Amino acid sequence: MSQVVSVVILVVITIAVFQLMILRPQRRRTQAQQSLIASLQVGDEIMTSSGIYGVVSSIDETVVHVEIAPKTTIKIARGAVARRVDEPS
C-alpha cells in the first residue's frame, strides 16, 4: 500500500514540475506575442520571424504590409511579426 502512495505522490510531483517549468513560461510567451500583434501600429519598426526588418505601412485583419526598402513592400501574416525593433529582445 505504501508503494502505491509513493508512486502517486511521485506522479503528482512530476506533473507539478512539468506545469511550472514548461507550460507556464510557454503560456507567458504566447500572451506576450498576442499582445505584440494586437498593439501593432502603422510606423512601427519590426522584425519578422524570418529576420526581415521593416516598417509597418498598413495593417489588415490577418496581414501586415511591411516596407523593407523605399517603395518595396511585402505582405506578411500578423503572426510572423517576431518583435518591435525598438524594444529590447
| Residue whose cell numbers read 510531483 | 13
Residues 56 and 23 in one domain: no
Full-model pTM: 0.71
What is the percentage of the chain residues whose pLDDT exceeds 90?
73
| Residue whose cell numbers read 524594444 | 87
Give me the count of residues in the chain.
89
| Tens digits of residue pLDDT in 54-74 | 999 999 999 999 999 999 999
Residues 11 and 51 in one domain: no
What CATH number is given to the structural domain containing 52?
2.30.30
Identify the domain containing residue 3 by its residue range.
1-39
Number of domains in the chain: 2
* Sheet (strand 81-84) strand order: 72-77, 63-69, 53-59, 45-48, 81-84
Rg of the chain over all Cα atoms, to the nearest angstrom? 21
Residues 49 and 34 in one domain: no
Residues 47 and 80 in one domain: yes
pLDDT above 80: residue 87: no
Residues 11 and 48 in one domain: no
Residues 17 and 1 in one domain: yes
